[in-house]
Amino acid sequence: MLLSAGFGMRLRPLTEATPKPLLPLGGVPILGWNLLLLKRHGITDAVINLHHLGERIVETLRDGSQYSMRLAYSHEPALLGTGGGIKQAEPFLKDGTFLVLNGDTVSECDLTGLVSAHRVSGALATLALREDPAAEEWGAVATNRQGRILQIKNQPPVMKDTEASASWMFAGIHVLEPAVLDAIPAGPGSIIDVYITLLRQGGHLQGWRMTGYWSDIGTRERYAQAQKDVERGCLRPAH
């Protein structure tokens, strides 16, 4: 699933007529970079949630055949957030393990490695984590030495004698088991809040360290930097 329903407020006026996931990057829409990444790792079916200017996304990507993909769409008349958006798309996701990516982020994440690590761990969900000096600002994820997640945004409280190895930044890429869908309440909400609830209940969430290029194109400055990165060859689409 590609989360693509947001307004892109910090990128205005660029996003007033164009949804953020369709902003061009090296001649490819940001969403296109994600579709190419999925295709590189053998994933050919995806659902995209829509709200702000969602019809533009459908008009541009259609059924996905231009990317050799099969696309479906989950329309949100009211914005549901990351948790509510995933819950509404449950009919497309409930039959097996599935990936969720932020449709406005570009990366070279090894999705094959992420999925493999998830299957080995037996976790309810495995989150791609990356080193970032501003991890606390993003909402740090703390893990133990085996990579099991102990806290997200300092929640839930962890016993003082529990060994935490590092704090990481969540990259917005995660693998989920269908059982997580049962824990997501209907209506607007954040998947992070659901993960914190699962941790409180003793649920197994795993962290997986990703490397390689990653950019959250959340501001005009980061969008400009991503454009420079493409020009310098730091990021290349997997045509």
Residue 133's pLDDT band (cuts 50, 70, 90): low
User: Is residue 237 one of the residues assigned to a domain?
Assistant: no
**pLDDT at 14 (0 to 100):** 61
Q: Residue 27 sits in which domain range? A: 2-231
User: What does the block give as tokens for 180?
Assistant: 């997580």
CATH number of the domain that residue 149 is part of: 3.90.550.10
User: Is residue 239 one of the residues assigned to a domain?
Assistant: no
Q: Tell whether the model's pLDDT for residue 90 goes beyond 80.
A: yes
Of 109-118, 195-204, 207-216, the least confident = 207-216
Q: How many domains does the chain have?
A: 1
Task: To the nearest 10°, report the CA torsion of 230, 209, 171, 211.
Answer: 0
Q: Which of 238, 106, 223 is nearest to 173 (CA)?
A: 106
Close Cβ partners of 159 (under 8 Å, ≥ 6 residues apart): none
pLDDT one-digit tens code per residue, 65-89: 999 999 999 999 998 999 999 999 9
Cα(87)–Cα(35) distance, rounded to whole angstroms? 21
User: Is residue 238 one of the residues assigned to a domain?
Assistant: no
**pLDDT at 163 (0 to 100):** 64
User: Is residue 236 one of the residues assigned to a domain?
Assistant: no
Cα(50)–Cα(45) distance, rounded to whole angstroms? 17
Q: Tell whether the model's pLDDT for residue 44 goes beyond 70.
A: yes
User: Is residue 40 one of the residues assigned to a domain?
Assistant: yes
User: What does the block give as tokens for 26?
Assistant: 């090296």
Q: Tell whether the model's pLDDT for residue 116 goes beyond 70.
A: yes
**pLDDT at 26 (0 to 100):** 87
Mean pLDDT of 209-225: 88
Cα(176)–Cα(191) distance, rounded to whole angstroms? 11
3-state secondary structure of 225: helix
